[in-house]
């Protein structure tokens, strides 16, 4: 069957049938959720695993059965999945590996708003923040040292990690987060024409176009705005000038800019800007936070992948942190790709980069 797409009106055509792009993404969402929700809830005889709630937010805790004479470190993990596809079961093998004998952590896996049906925009961010605050206040009840809590997340989970850490920098009524781990995170929605966007424009799992489509679906917006956002028409000149010092291809190391072509100038669309103002909020684009916030962030580990449209966002966040004298550990996976972590532990479907990401994460956490 011949198929084509009409980018102007956001339609996909299959033969004589036309489908709205948003409907196809919605259908994809449902199918993927059916698959991942059908994964069995794995168990490990050496771990105590229990589902509970922190202020009504679903949480799965992983505790070593071997008792400890002292309080252990705690790890909070926010899963990826574009804010739409994640599940508590997909990451079992990765999470199980974080509770290894020489790490002896206690892990708290936050299941934010997507876990029980269709998401509500920003519910996930607030869920992650609510659950984190609850845990920081009650850590000792779980045998966790409140001064040794690390927050970790991959993909949009990395976004939530960055956002939560930023939200909490000025809180004096709860313990400080000790460190954060950002695994191929999404960190800004101003510029979708950075070198990594161009290089990996048609890569599997998360292409340049799908990145914007997922954002629009997440915000419950009209997917026909995709082209305008890809071109940068949603950003007024004043905002471009304000954030150019932080989001700029010139800040990317030359070795990662091979073949890069500056995008053609585009006209500003007030209508698209008005409809997508959420993109400029720091909880959605943590790269836009001021230096006064960055300078108070905890020690950070950033893991980027070469074959990932979001690669350069990790680079830029790393630079912001370093410019503000925050200790940063950076690992770049030359063979890595977006979603690699979700494949860890699944036999022939696992990849070398998945194991490397795990090892880097574990080694970083060990230091705290």
pLDDT of 297-319, one tens digit each?
999 999 999 999 999 999 999 99
Q: What's the rounded mean pLDDT across residues 145-165?
A: 95
Beta pairing partners, 304 = 332
Over residues 309-332, mean pLDDT: 98
pLDDT surpassing 90 at residue 192: yes
Least confident of 79-83, 336-340, 349-353: 79-83
Does residue 338 carry a catalytic annotation? yes
Name residues whose C-beta falls within 8 Å of residue 187's C-beta, 6 or more positions apart in sequence: 158, 159, 162, 285, 286, 287, 310, 313, 314, 316, 317
Output the pLDDT for position 342. 73
Catalytic choice (105, 155, 196, 233): 155
Q: State residue 205's pLDDT score.
A: 83
- Residue 54 Ramachandran class (φ > 0 left, ψ -120 to 50 alpha, else beta): beta
Using the predicted structure, report yes or no on whether residue 26 has a pLDDT greater than 60: no
Sign of CA dihedral 327, 142, 123, 99: positive
Asked if residue 156 has pLDDT above 60, the reply is yes
Whether 308 is catalytic is: yes
H or E stretch including 124? helix 123-138
Is the pLDDT reported for residue 10 higher than 60?
A: no
Given 127, 154, 299, 308, the catalytic residue = 308
Q: Is the pLDDT of residue 22 over 80?
A: no
Q: Check if 155 is active-site.
A: yes
Token pair listed for 21: 């792009």
Q: Is the pLDDT of residue 237 over 60?
A: yes
pLDDT digits (tens, 9 = 90+) for 42-74: 555 567 888 889 998 888 888 877 777 788 899
pLDDT tens, position by position, 107-134? 777 766 544 334 445 688 899 999 999 9
Taking CA 109 as the corner, what is the angle to CA 321 and CA 29, rounded to the nearest 5 degrees?
A: 90
Range of weakest confidence among 114-128, 175-189, 320-334, 347-361? 114-128
Q: What are phi and psi of 180, to 5 degrees?
A: -135, 150
Confidence check: pLDDT of 261 > 60: yes
- Catalytic option among 338, 353, 354, 360: 338
What's the whole-number mean pLDDT along residues 214-231? 92
**Mean pLDDT throughout 157-168?**
96
* Averaged pLDDT for residues 188-214: 95
Question: In this predicted structure, what is the pLDDT of residue 105?
Answer: 66
- What residues contact 277, with CB distance under 8 A and at least 6 apart? none
């Amino acid at each position: 069957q011949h198929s084509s797409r009409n980018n102007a009106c956001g339609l996909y055509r299959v033969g004589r049938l036309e489908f709205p792009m948003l409907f196809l993404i919605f259908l994809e969402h449902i199918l993927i959720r059916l698959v991942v929700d059908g994964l069995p809830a794995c168990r490990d005889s050496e771990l105590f695993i229990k589902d509970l709630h922190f202020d009504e937010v679903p949480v799965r805790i992983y505790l070593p059965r071997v008792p400890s004479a002292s309080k252990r470190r705690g790890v909070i993990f926010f899963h990826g999945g574009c804010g739409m596809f994640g599940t508590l079961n997909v990451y079992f093998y990765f999470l199980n590996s974080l509770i290894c004998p020489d790490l002896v952590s206690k892990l708290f896996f936050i299941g934010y708003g997507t876990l029980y049906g269709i998401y509500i925009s920003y519910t996930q961010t607030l869920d992650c923040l609510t659950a984190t605050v609850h845990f920081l206040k009650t850590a000792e009840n779980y045998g966790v040292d409140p001064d040794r809590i690390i927050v970790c997340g991959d993909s949009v989970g990395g976004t939530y990690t960055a956002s939560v850490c930023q939200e909490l920098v000025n809180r004096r009524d709860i313990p400080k987060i000790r460190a954060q781990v950002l695994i191929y995170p999404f960190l800004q929605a101003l510029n979708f024409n950075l070198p990594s966007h161009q290089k990996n424009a048609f890569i599997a799992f998360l292409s340049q176009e799908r990145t914007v489509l997922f954002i629009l679906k997440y915000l419950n917006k009209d997917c026909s705005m995709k082209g305008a956002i890809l071109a940068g028409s949603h950003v007024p000149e004043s905002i471009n000038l304000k954030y150019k010092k932080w989001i700029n291809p010139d800040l990317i190391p030359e070795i990662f800019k091979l073949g890069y072509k500056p995008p053609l100038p585009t006209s500003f669309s007030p209508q698209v800007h008005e409809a997508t103002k959420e993109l400029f909020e720091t909880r959605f684009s943590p790269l836009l936070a001021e230096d006064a916030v960055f300078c108070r962030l905890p020690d950070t580990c950033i893991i980027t992948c070469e074959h990932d449209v979001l690669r350069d966002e990790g680079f830029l966040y790393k630079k912001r942190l370093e410019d503000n004298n925050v200790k940063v550990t950076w690992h770049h996976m030359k063979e890595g790709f977006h979603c690699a972590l979700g494949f860890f532990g699944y036999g022939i479907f696992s990849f070398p980069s998945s194991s490397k990401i795990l090892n880097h994460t574990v080694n970083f956490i060990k230091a705290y």
